[in-house]
């Protein structure tokens, strides 16, 4: 077994752990990140995909979170222009618990809190799109942004790797203990020691804290389950909808992959097991009933292509219900008697991950000599550069569009030098060619077909069983070569 001394060990490969890895590696720190499953397999692939200030948090007077998230929205739009896209959200004008004037004031405040921003300001829209019920003639429109959550995590992982971090997925921690010289984590084939350890395990934070750091206290967390439906229907005009349900809760209907839309989310306090979470029938009925209050042609169970459920880890103030608990994060810095540091990440939104990572590094540097100067200026995420597509005219437009929106310039890695589709190798179906699969196996930590089908791409929606089987077979034959490479990297 090889052993390595690093500056920081991060446990958890969701958006928060990965952004800390990326920002820390950028500072020249030696980082290892350990993920028990696949990258982004936790909450960071189960979100509503919004990069937003959170219009509804204004109802809870959480102005500081809304302002912080809106500023991050603006920064992230520039950091990953290929992956984070502006989106207009329509609030249909129907009688609701929130009076019309209050909605307008809310949108005015939302624009105001974002300060200078590049997105269009809120306005009124006359509707005639045959999608909403015919008695809905107008709506308020505001702007936010949408992303592909798991790809955002992967791009932070690529950034971290670019700066020398080791990103290890599917790694079970065999033991984690504190020695006189630091925190020591043993994996199956290697061990790592560092003076600083970060617990960024999202919904697992209380569980992993109990297992590895029970000498320290942490605040009580509440897990809130949220589920989404992927519907087989494309939305008109590439616009999203902000819909108030009968109970006053807001859900979103947003464009998803071509031919699909995403509907969610539910919000239920959760106390069950953390793995293999599923959406329940009651949640499905709730979302369908809510959306069907607005649309001309009702959605039914036959329109459901897929569903997914995730858990929000929220700081439990013991007072509010799930809907009213703050979505902001807290960073807890604790020193052991031996002088080693534990940083625990509590809560946090997808939108605020970069700010969380910078705040974590600032906090860690407070009492530390020789800590590098924090780099607040944002960096372009891998793939975010301007993309000259001219040399790739041989790729079908729908496939190129997917490459552009998911990978940006990263797809040059497998397109460079190719002249025809035949050069991309075997076609597995739905525009997935061997060249892309090989790139994902070699560069993006894919070890199983599901990593590729649901977290590096969303092609799981479009590939049939036969194609998936073919892909699994291919991965299983190729993976031993990559597994060998991983071993030497460890």
Question: Rounded CA gap, 166 and 176, in Å?
Answer: 18
**437, 429, 389, 433: which is closest to 409 by C-alpha?**
389
Rule CB under 6 A: say whether 311 interacts with ligand FAD: yes
Instruction: Give the one residue of 48, 254, 409, 457 binding ligand FAD; rule: CB under 6 A.
Output: 48
Alpha-carbon distances, residue 190 vs 3, 33, 83, 179, 479 (angstroms): 6, 13, 34, 17, 20
State the minimum distance, in angstroms, from the CB of residue 124 to ligand FAD. Answer: 25
Residue 278: alpha-carbon gap to chain centroid: 18
**83, 461, 456: which is closest to 259 by C-alpha?**
461
Let me know if 309 is exposed, middle or buried by CB neighbors in 10 A (0-12, 13-18, 19+): buried
Alpha-carbon distances, residue 180 vs 3, 7, 195, 371 (angstroms): 16, 15, 10, 21
Interface region with ligand FAD, contact rule CB under 6 A, candidates 305-313, 381-389, 394-402, 420-428: 305-313
- Residue closer to ligand FAD by CB (options 161, 455) is 455
Please give the size of the binding site for ligand FAD, defined by CB under 6 A: 37
Residue 170, token pair as written in the block: 């599917």
Instruction: Give the one residue of 37, 269, 280, 434 binding ligand FAD; rule: CB under 6 A.
Output: 37
Rule CB under 6 A: say whether 341 interacts with ligand FAD: no
Rule CB under 6 A: say whether 16 interacts with ligand FAD: yes
Rule CB under 6 A: say whether 36 interacts with ligand FAD: yes
Binding mask 348-367 for ligand FAD (x = CB under 6 A): xxxx----------------
Rule CB under 6 A: say whether 206 interacts with ligand FAD: no
State the minimum distance, in angstroms, from the CB of residue 65 to ligand FAD. Answer: 10
Local structure of 96: helix, strand or coil = coil
State the minimum distance, in angstroms, from the CB of residue 413 to ligand FAD. Answer: 25
Let me know: does 429 contact 441? Beta carbons within 8 Å. no
Instruction: Give the one residue of 92, 310, 384, 408 binding ligand FAD; rule: CB under 6 A.
Output: 310
Place of tokens 């009925």: 285
Rule CB under 6 A: say whether 344 interacts with ligand FAD: no
For the segment 249-268, give every residue that binds ligand FAD (CB under 6 A). Answer: 265
Contacts with ligand FAD, residue ranges (CB under 6 A): 11-17, 34-37, 41-44, 46-50, 173, 200-204, 208, 226, 265, 310-312, 345, 348-351
């Amino acid at each position: 077994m090889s052993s390595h001394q690093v500056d920081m060990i991060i446990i958890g490969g969701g958006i928060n752990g990965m952004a800390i890895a990326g920002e820390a590696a950028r500072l020249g720190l030696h980082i290892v990140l350990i993920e028990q499953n696949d990258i982004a397999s936790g909450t960071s692939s189960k979100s509503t995909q919004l990069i937003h200030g959170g219009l509804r948090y204004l109802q809870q007077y959480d102005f500081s979170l809304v302002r912080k998230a809106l500023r991050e929205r603006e920064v992230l739009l520039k950091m990953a222009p290929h992956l984070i896209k502006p989106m207009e959200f329509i609030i249909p004008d129907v009688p609701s618990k929130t009076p019309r004037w209050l909605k307008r004031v809310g949108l005015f405040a939302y624009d105001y809190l974002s300060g200078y921003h590049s997105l269009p300001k809120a306005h009124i829209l006359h509707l005639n799109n045959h999608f909403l019920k015919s008695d809905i003639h107008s709506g308020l429109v505001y702007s936010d942004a949408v992303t592909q959550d798991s790809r955002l995590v992967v791009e932070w992982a690529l950034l971290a790797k670019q700066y020398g971090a080791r990103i290890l997925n599917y790694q079970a921690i065999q033991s984690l203990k504190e020695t006189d010289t630091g925190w020591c984590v043993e994996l199956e084939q290697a061990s790592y020691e560092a003076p600083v350890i970060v617990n960024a395990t999202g919904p697992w934070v209380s569980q992993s804290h109990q297992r590895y750091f029970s000498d320290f206290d942490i605040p009580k967390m509440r897990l809130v389950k949220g589920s989404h439906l992927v519907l087989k229907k494309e939305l008109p005009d590439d616009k999203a909808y902000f819909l108030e349900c009968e109970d006053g809760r807001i859900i979103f209907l947003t464009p998803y992959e071509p031919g699909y839309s995403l509907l969610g989310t539910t919000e239920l306090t959760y106390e069950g097991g953390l793995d293999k979470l599923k959406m329940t029938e009651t949640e499905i009925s709730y979302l369908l009933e809510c959306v069907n209050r607005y649309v001309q042609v009702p959605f039914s169970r036959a329109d459901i292509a897929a569903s997914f459920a995730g858990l929000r880890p929220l700081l439990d103030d013991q007072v509010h219900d799930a809907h009213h608990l703050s979505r902001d994060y807290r960073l807890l810095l604790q020193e052991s008697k031996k002088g080693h540091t534990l940083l625990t990440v509590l809560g946090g939104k997808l939108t605020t991950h970069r700010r969380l990572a910078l705040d974590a590094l600032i906090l860690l540097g407070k009492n530390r000599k020789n800590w590098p100067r924090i780099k607040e200026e944002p960096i372009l995420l891998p793939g975010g550069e301007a993309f000259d597509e001219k040399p790739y005219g041989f790729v079908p437009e729908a496939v190129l569009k997917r490459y552009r929106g998911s990978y940006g310039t990263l797809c040059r890695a497998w397109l460079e030098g190719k002249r025809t589709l035949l050069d991309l190798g075997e076609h597995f179906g739905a525009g997935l060619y061997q060249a892309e699969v090989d790139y994902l196996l070699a560069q993006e930590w894919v070890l199983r077909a599901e990593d590729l089908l649901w977290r590096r791409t969303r092609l799981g929606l479009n590939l049939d069983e036969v194609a998936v089987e073919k892909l699994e077979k291919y991965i299983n034959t190729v993976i031993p070569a990559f597994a060998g490479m991983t071993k030497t990297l460890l």
